[in-house]
Structure formats: structure tokens, C-alpha cells
A and B are shown apart, each in its own frame.
Chain A
């Protein structure tokens, strides 16, 4: 199975047509796939809170958005999640590269990894953790759930899911 293609197919099948990204090495393949798809307008952001602003506007304009980013961005976007996405009750699937988990080679990444799930739990953000490749089978249902409840929803994807950091 090509995970990058499967993820992008699920986004398209759920009518997600506006995707903003801040890159991570683990996400390089899926970002490339999204960029190549005619059904999706891909707009890279310089910072993740900026990306959430773009997504909020796109959704109010009638398009279903998504953001693709690294888990370090949770530290950047807490205020935006609370005062924009949650306060105005907007749906936002967040496909997140979960750095600092098993098979991580960079020690500093662990420093945000240990806070990631706690911060998401504190924010009452529904959170799913893809650890094995087969976990991607739930993505379609998670996307439907996100647009059903109009909430930000986190999908954490770790190095094991991607086949090992740098090995993929």
C-alpha cells in the first residue's frame, strides 16, 4: 500500500479541497502527492497558526480544509485552536507527524513528543494515533467524524507508521 496515496485519496473522497502544510520529513511524500492532485488546492503556510487562519477562512467560504503539520506545532497553535477553531466551532482535520516517538533519531524531538498527547487532551481535542500502517484504514471514518462534530481533530502519525524515520 502506498500510504501517501491512500491518505490523499481519503481526503479527496471526503471532499477536502483546501490543504495547508508546514513540512516535516515524514510528511514529504504526502505533501508531494497533495500538491500533484487537481482536486486539492495546496497552500503552504509559513507557520501553523497562519495555516489554521487560512483553513478557517476557506471553510467559511464553502471548502472543506485540512492542515498537515508536525506535533511541535501544537506548541505554536494552542491559542488559535482555543480562540478561533474551537470558539467559532469549526471543523479541522489535523494530520500530524508525531516526531519524538519510537524510531526517532533526533533527541530534541522527544521534548515535544512527551507533551503532545497531554496538550491535546487538555484542549479536549479528539486524538487518534497511527502506529502501524494498517491504522490508516480509520482515516476515512475520522474525517467523517471531524466534519460531523465541527471540531479540530488530531491524527498523530509516528515514525513506525511511516516505516521508520528516514527509512521510508
Chain B
């Protein structure tokens, strides 16, 4: 399975939740598969999806699902200790770990080699860390929502991208409709 197949499979779970989605092709794929006002698409700023989602989870009570990638977590590794030490039980970080920088031409990341992001999250102090196969992502994500406990999911999948159009929505429109969905 590649990332877009995981996103298609979990789209019904994501639909009613606040979602912060990583820069580049992940946001383009989610936007094309199931655009919702509850989706915050990152158009730039690689690495900060997990931080934006944590700030959002700490500021209000609704569940927040962050769709991140292995490359973006590696870019902002300091996020893991911050997440671990500021527990928000409405926060789920889903790292789609395809071992590559998908948006830039599938160059390999270290997460696809010797580095284990789930072990790094555990070493950072995250208490509920689940590594799963791509096929199990939906079940693990639903269980995390039901558990109402901060959860880091590392979904191991294959490298590759679906061909989707660039998001042309204005960033202020994305942000404004998202904030209205947060308040609804």
C-alpha cells in the first residue's frame, strides 16, 4: 500500500475529525480524496504539522489527528519530546512512514534505513506508540480515537504518490473555514 491508499481507506474516519495535514503531496491527496472544512492543509513550512496539531489539541477539547510523514518528523525531531512532555489526550499523530521524501522525488529517508521513529517516540517519552502495517492503519486509528489517549501511530507503507492536482485554495480561506469548523 502507498500513502494515498491509506488515506482513501481512513477518509471515513477522518471526515468528522479535525485534521492537520502535512505539506506537499499528502495534503494534495487528502484534498482530492475528501476535502472537508475540518482539514487544515499545510501549503508550506515542512516539519510543523505535528507542532500545529499539538498547539490545536492543547487549546481546545476536540480530537485532533495529524497526518505527518517520516521525512517531516525527521525535519522537526524536537517535536517528539515536546509532544511527550505536554500530554494532550485528544491528540493523535499518524506518521505515514514510507521511508522516503515523497513530495520531492521519493529520495530515501533514514527512517527507511536504520532509524526507527516508533522507538524514537518512545525514547522521547511518548507513552502510547503503535507501529503498524499500512493495512491496519484504519483499525489502529479508530482504536486510538476510542482510547481517548494521546497516541503516536507509525504506519509503515510503500513509497509512492498518487497524481493529484495542486491545492489552489487561498491559505486564508483554508485557515478561516478550519477555524469555523473548530468552533462549530
Find out whether the CB atom of A56 lies under 8 angstroms from the CB atom of B55: yes
Interface extent on B, as a size class?
20 to 34
Listed stretches A29-37, A82-90, A102-110, A123-131; interface member: A82-90
Find out whether the CB atom of B48 lies under 8 angstroms from the CB atom of A46: no
Q: Which residues of chain A have C-beta atoms less than 8 A from B56's C-beta?
A: 57-58, 60-61
Find out whether the CB atom of B55 lies under 8 angstroms from the CB atom of A87: no
Residue of B nearest to A44 (CB): B82
Looking at the complex, which one of B48, B59, B178 makes contact with A63 (CB distance below 8 Å)? B59
Q: Which residues of chain A have C-beta atoms less than 8 A from B78's C-beta?
A: 45-47, 50
Find out whether the CB atom of B82 lies under 8 angstroms from the CB atom of A60: no
Find out whether the CB atom of A89 lies under 8 angstroms from the CB atom of B60: no
- The total of interchain contacts (Cβ-Cβ below 8 angstroms) comes to 114
A-contact bits for B171-184, CB 8 A (1 contact / 0 none): 11011001100110
Find out whether the CB atom of A50 lies under 8 angstroms from the CB atom of B58: no
Q: In the complex, what's the smallest C-beta–C-beta distance from A72 to chain B, in angstroms?
A: 16
Find out whether the CB atom of A57 lies under 8 angstroms from the CB atom of B20: yes
Find out whether the CB atom of A88 lies under 8 angstroms from the CB atom of B175: yes
Residue of A nearest to B20 (CB): A57
Q: Which residues of chain A have C-beta atoms less than 8 A from B59's C-beta?
A: 18, 57-63
Find out whether the CB atom of B60 lies under 8 angstroms from the CB atom of A62: yes
Tell me the complex Cα distance, A83–B48, Å: 11
Residue of A nearest to B66 (CB): A57
Indicate whether A61 sits within 8 Å of B48 (C-beta atoms), given known contacts A53-B55, A89-B175: no
Q: In the complex, what's the smallest C-beta–C-beta distance from B132 to chain A, in angstroms?
A: 25
Interface extent on A, as a size class?
20 to 34
Main secondary structure of the interface of B (DSSP, over half): helix
A-contact bits for B54-78, CB 8 A (1 contact / 0 none): 1111111000000000000000101
Find out whether the CB atom of B82 lies under 8 angstroms from the CB atom of A43: yes
A80 at the interface (CB under 8 A from B): yes
A95 at the interface (CB under 8 A from B): no
Indicate whether A88 sits within 8 Å of B171 (C-beta atoms), given known contacts A54-B54, A56-B55, A60-B56: yes
Looking at the complex, which one of A41, A53, A61 makes contact with B51 (CB distance below 8 Å)? A53
Q: In the complex, what's the smallest C-beta–C-beta distance from B149 to chain A, in angstroms?
A: 19
Looking at the complex, which one of A46, A63, A80, A90 makes contact with B175 (CB distance below 8 Å)? A90
Tell me the complex Cα distance, A57–B59, Å: 8
B44 at the interface (CB under 8 A from A): yes
A→B interface (CB under 8 Å): 18, 41, 43-47, 49-63, 65, 79-80, 82-84, 87-90
B→A interface (CB under 8 Å): 20, 40, 42-45, 47-60, 76, 78-79, 81-82, 86, 171-172, 174-175, 178-179, 182-183
Q: List 28 A-B contacts (CB under 8 A).
A: A43-B86, A44-B82, A45-B82, A50-B78, A53-B47, A53-B52, A53-B55, A54-B51, A54-B55, A55-B55, A56-B51, A57-B51, A57-B59, A59-B55, A60-B40, A60-B52, A60-B55, A60-B182, A61-B56, A62-B59, A80-B45, A80-B48, A84-B52, A87-B43, A87-B44, A88-B171, A88-B172, A90-B175
10 further A-B contacts with Cβ under 8 Å, apart from A50-B76, A65-B55, A90-B175, are: A18-B55, A46-B79, A56-B55, A57-B56, A58-B56, A60-B175, A60-B182, A79-B45, A83-B44, A87-B44
